[in-house]
Structure 1
Amino acid sequence: MLPWTLIDTAKVPGGGDELRLKRRGSEFSIMLGTNELMNSRLSGSEEALARLSIDKIRDRRRPVILIGGLGMGFTLRAALAELPQDARVVVAELVPAVIRWAKNEMAEVFHGCLEDPRVTIVEADVGELIRREKAAYDAILLDVDNGPEALTREENDRIYDTGGLGAAKAALKPGGVLSVWSSAPDSRFTRRMQSAGFAVEENPTRASTKGRGAKHMIWLASKRTG
């Protein structure tokens, strides 16, 4: 078996450990300490995050989507495949190196999706973008950190706490959907979303597109109208 090669490292703003980009043949991995945050062979749950979300807003004209976390682009690519040509997709990525890797070392993984005219990449904290918008988005897709239980930086907890959920609700258009990816279920987070006034669905999803591997969780939280 081919050995892993370290390609680059990057500090997470406000975080502790550094991110490490590794490659083995055509396979890429992004690590934080001993934890693998993502792998180019495992895209199933990230793609499901996009598909399940777009299904909720499929009848909307000129939909505006906010994706928190660029990662390896799996959610972005899946969203573009489902969205109409008049859609607009804003991707917020906090770590500058992740954007650089997407355009250079991992360009083959992204398949040119960053050049899609519907896409705008913003180097920013997605929580900040959410807090400054009102009724701006048809869907907000969050694949930030490890889910509601922050791993890379403590500040990410603010996205998923009561105040963060309230801000996301305000940033959504009526009937819009907040979708959250997590590495594991979290019943407390489900209740927190319900307390924030969302209608919540839990969707356990396998990490692999072949229906194998670890089981992740995707929450679909719809903003009630009226």
Structure 2
Amino acid sequence: MTATYDTPVVLDRREGPYGEVVLRRHGELLQIIANGCFLMDTSDGRSERLLVDAARDALDPRPQPHVLIGGLGVGFSLAHAAADPHWGAITVVEREPAIVDWHRTGPLATISEQAVADPRTEIVEADLITHIRETSATYDALCLDIDNGPDWTVTEGNDNLYSPAGLTSCARVLKPGGVLAVWSAQPSPNFEETLRNAGFKQVRTEEIPVARGVPDVVHIAVRPG
């Protein structure tokens, strides 16, 4: 039976360390599904680009800053960061080996091939929460996009990232004046308050306009100098 344009076609399905991950094609789009939950597709990328740009613009002037991108996804954030000579180093933390493979040798390489090959880029296969808690590295910016937002996590354990303890870990790996930027499918006033209570300053939310419905947003906060 031949698939029609409107029928999703599974390109790869794997059992990863945190459950099932699927890459499928739906017409011209590539989609990532985790444990039956739609994560993202290649339809737009505006919000992923804003995530990186908002962090860059919120940083005080400093030479060759180092950005950590939490979540490789379909590669829009990495590709956008690598296209910007402002960044001196780009570390991407991705916990799903399948997603890393899809970028290195699979269909998602059409988006990220040049960025993955960029000498500034390092891809770390690890759980982001564990990496932030245990790494000795420090960063000028953290751009986090591993969930549908602080109020809609992909796995239950990810709640810890947006808790006071998780934000303390984020602040620990940020250099003074460093920026935390968190993508979300909807605004979260409660998360803004948690950021302020965790000691972050200049907390604000930038919206990505959409034709209808609730806009995607990026929550931005600065570690005091």
Task: Give the alignment's TM-score, normalised by structure 2.
Answer: 0.89
Q: Residues 153 and 159 of structure 2 are in contact (CA less than 8 Å); yes or no, is this contact kept in structure 1?
A: no
Q: Which has the higher contact order (CA 8 A, sep 6+)?
A: 1
Q: Residues 19 and 31 of structure 1 are in contact (CA less than 8 Å); yes or no, is this contact kept in structure 2?
A: yes
Q: Which one of 25, 29, 32 corresponds to residue 31 of structure 2?
A: 29
> Aligned equivalents of 1:135 and 1:145: distance in 2?
23
1:101 aligns with 2:102: yes
1:203 aligns with 2:177: no
- 1:135/1:5 Cα in 2 relative to 1: closer, same or farther (>3 Å)? closer
1:13 is aligned to: 17
> Aligned equivalents of 1:29 and 1:10: distance in 2?
14
2:63 is aligned to: 61
Number of residues of Structure 1 aligned to a counterpart in Structure 2: 218
Aligned-residue identity in percent = 35
Within 5 Å, which residues of 2 pair with 1:164-183?
A: 164-183=166-185
CA RMSD of aligned residues (A): 2.0
Q: Residues 138 and 173 of structure 1 are in contact (CA less than 8 Å); yes or no, is this contact kept in structure 2?
A: yes
Q: Residues 134 and 170 of structure 1 are in contact (CA less than 8 Å); yes or no, is this contact kept in structure 2?
A: no
1:34: how far off?
A: 5.2
1:156 is aligned to: 158
2:217 is aligned to: 217
SS of the residue corresponding to residue 29 of structure 1 reads strand
2:133 is aligned to: 131
1:71 is aligned to: 73
Structure 2: runs of 5+ lacking an equivalent: none
Structure 1: runs of 5+ lacking an equivalent: none
Q: Which amino acid aligns with 1:97?
A: A
Q: Which one of 140, 144, 147 corresponds to residue 146 of structure 2?
A: 144
Task: Give the alignment's TM-score, normalised by structure 1.
Answer: 0.88
Using the TM superposition, name which of 59-68 and 26-35 deviates more.
26-35
1:109-156 CA-to-partner distances (Å, cap 9, x unmatched) read 224210011000010011122112467110011001212134321111
1:169: how far off?
A: 0.6
- 1:27/1:58 Cα in 2 relative to 1: closer, same or farther (>3 Å)? farther
> Aligned equivalents of 1:80 and 1:57: distance in 2?
17
**Structure 1 stretches of at least 4 aligned residues deviating more than 4 Å after TM superposition:** none
